Structure 1
Amino acid sequence: MGGRLAVIATALGYGALLFIGAFEDRREAFADTFGIGDMAFVGILATVFWLICLARAPQAARAHSVINETLHVACKWISISALILMVCFILLQVFMRYALNDAPNWTEEAARFGMLWMTGLMAPIAYRHGGFVAIDMLERGLSGRLSAILSLVLLLMSIVVLLVMWDKGLNNHVDTMSGRGCSSTLRWPFGIEIGKCGPKFSSYYQFLALWVGVNLLILVAVELILRQGLKLFGKDAGLAPLGDDNMASAS
C-alpha cells in the first residue's frame, strides 16, 4: 500500500507542476502572488518537490521507476507506430514520384511528424537503459565509490541541461508564433475542422513532440539520480535493476 501511495503522490506532484508550469497564464497568476518571475516560481516548486523526493529517496526511486516503466510501455508502442507510418509515407512519396511523376506534397511533412514523435518518445527509454553513446573509460578506470560519485555528478549536470531545454522548448518553440502556426500541407481527414487552424493541421503538435520528450527525460534523470545516490550509500538493494534485452547499448 505504501508503494502505491508513493507512486500516486509522485504522479500527482508532477501533474501539478505541469498544470501550473506548462501554461503561461497560470504560471504568471501564481508567481504574481509571490512577486517573483513565473519561471522562477516553477523552479522553486520543482526544487521543493525534488527535495521531498530526496528526503524519501528509496520510496521516491521506486515510485519513479514504476511511473517510467508504465509510461515507456506506451512510448515504445507509439514510437513503433510512428516509425511504421514514417516509412510508409516515404515509400509512398518515392513510388508516386517515380511511377506517376507527381508525389503528394503532404508526405514529407507527415514523415517528419512521425520522426519527431518517434525521437521524443524513444529518447527517454534509451537514456534509462543506457542506449546512448557513452565514453566511460574514466568511469570504468576509477574505484567503485569514485565511479559512483562521477556518475552522480554527470547526472546532475544532465538534469541542469534538461531543465534549460524544458524552459527554452516551451517558451521559445512550443508557445510561440511558430508553435501556434498552421501546417502548410497537412490537413485533417474528411474535412474535419479543429481549433483555430480549421482543416489544417496545427504545427503545435509537431513542436510539442520534443518538449514532451524533454519532460520524459527529466523523469528518467530524477530516477537515475535517486538510484545513483542510493547506490553511493549502499541503500539500493531493494531497487529492480535497469536493463532491456530488446535494446542494444552503445558505449
Structure 2
Amino acid sequence: MAVLLWLIAPLQAFNTAVGHLGRWVTIIAMALMVAVILLQVFFRYILNNALPWPDEAARFLMLWMTGLIAPVAYRRGGFVAIDLVSRALPVRVAALLSLGLLTLAFLVLLKGVPLGHAHTMSGCLFKSSSLWLPFTLEFALPLPGMDMSLTLCTRADAAFSITPGWVKMPLALMYASLFVGLMLLTLVNVELLLRSLVTFLGNGAALRPIPQDIVEAE
C-alpha cells in the first residue's frame, strides 16, 4: 500500500501543477478566441472587409484550449457520465467497477498517443495559410521509454534553437494540441487507476483529495 501511495504522490503533484497552468492558459486562449471572433465580425459585417487570419487563429486557440482543459475536466470528474450504478454500490465494489472502466480508457489512450504523435508529425508537411511566426523554432525532446519525442518538425534526437525571421506557422504546432492532450489524459488516467486500486484495497481514506479548484495549491 505504501508503494501505491508513493507512486500516486508525484503524479498527483504533477497533474495538479500542469492542470493549474492549463487552466490559466485555457482562460487566456478563450478570451483571445472571443476577441478574435468579434474582430472578424466587425471587419466582415461593419467594414465589409474580412481579415484572412482570425478564423484560423480561433481554431488554433480552440484546439489548444481543448487539449489543455480536457485532462483537468477528466481528473475532476467533469466529463459527461452516468454514475447511478457506482453511487448505489458499496465503496469497494464501485472502486472495482471504476478500475475496470479506467483500464479500458487507459488501453484506448495508449492507442491514441502514437496516433496523435503521427498526426502532429504530418503537420510538418504543411504550413498555415494565414498565421505567421517571427522566428523558426527547432525543438526535440526524447520521451523516456517511448519510441517517439516531443518535437516540432525536426529529425534530431534532441534540439532547441530559435532563428529570427518571419515564417508561416507549421500546422504541426496546431496539431500538437492533440498529442499533448492525449499525453496529459494518459497521466491523469494512471493517477485515477492507482487511486481506484488503493480504494479497492480498503485504504481510500489515505488518499489526498483531488482539488476541485485547481487554482488552490494542495
Q: TM-score, normalised by structure 2?
A: 0.81
Matches within 5 A, 1:85-100: 85-100=32-47
Q: Deviations over 1:71-116 (max 9, x none)?
A: 1111111111111111111000001001111111100000000000
Identity across aligned pairs (percent)?
Answer: 42
Name the residue aligned to 1:122.
69
Q: Choose between structure 1 and 2 for higher RCO, CA contacts under 8 A separated by at least 6 residues.
A: 2
RMSD across aligned C-alpha pairs, in angstroms?
2.1
Q: Deviations over 1:48-82 (max 9, x none)?
A: xxxxxx99211011111111111111111111111
Assess if the C-alpha contact under 8 Å between 1:174 and 1:180 holds in 2.
no
Aligned length: 189
Name the residue aligned to 2:203.
235
Q: Deviations over 1:102-134 (max 9, x none)?
A: 111100000000000000000000000111110
Name the residue aligned to 2:159.
none
**CA distance 1:140–1:236, shift in 2 (3 Å):** closer
Name the residue aligned to 1:194.
136
**CA distance 1:166–1:246, shift in 2 (3 Å):** closer
Shift of 1:243: 3.9
CA–CA distance in 1 between the matches of 2:214 and 2:82?
Answer: 22
2:120 counterpart of 1:174: yes
CA–CA distance in 2 between the matches of 1:135 and 1:241?
Answer: 22
CA–CA distance in 2 between the matches of 1:169 and 1:66?
Answer: 25
Q: Deviations over 1:182-215 (max 9, x none)?
A: 1011122xxx342589521111110001210111
CA–CA distance in 2 between the matches of 1:224 and 1:212?
Answer: 18
CA–CA distance in 2 between the matches of 1:72 and 1:241?
Answer: 15
Task: Tell me the SS of whatever aligns to 1:104.
Answer: coil
Report the residue type matching 2:55 in the other structure: E
Q: Which protein is richer in strand relative to its size?
A: 2
CA–CA distance in 1 between the matches of 2:51 and 2:33?
Answer: 14
CA–CA distance in 2 between the matches of 1:246 and 1:193?
Answer: 34
CA–CA distance in 1 between the matches of 2:3 and 2:121?
Answer: 35
Task: Tell me the SS of whatever aligns to 1:220.
Answer: helix
Assess if the C-alpha contact under 8 Å between 2:19 and 2:214 holds in 1.
no
CA–CA distance in 2 between the matches of 1:146 and 1:139?
Answer: 8
Name the residue aligned to 2:181.
213
In structure 2, runs of 5+ residues without a counterpart are: 138-152, 154-164
Q: Which protein is richer in helix relative to its size?
A: 1
In structure 1, runs of 5+ residues without a counterpart are: 1-53
Shift of 1:138: 1.9
Assess if the C-alpha contact under 8 Å between 1:182 and 1:203 holds in 2.
yes
Matches within 5 A, 1:45-64: 56-64=3-11
Assess if the C-alpha contact under 8 Å between 2:92 and 2:202 holds in 1.
no
CA–CA distance in 1 between the matches of 2:112 and 2:124?
Answer: 16
Q: TM-score, normalised by structure 1?
A: 0.70
Name the residue aligned to 1:16.
none
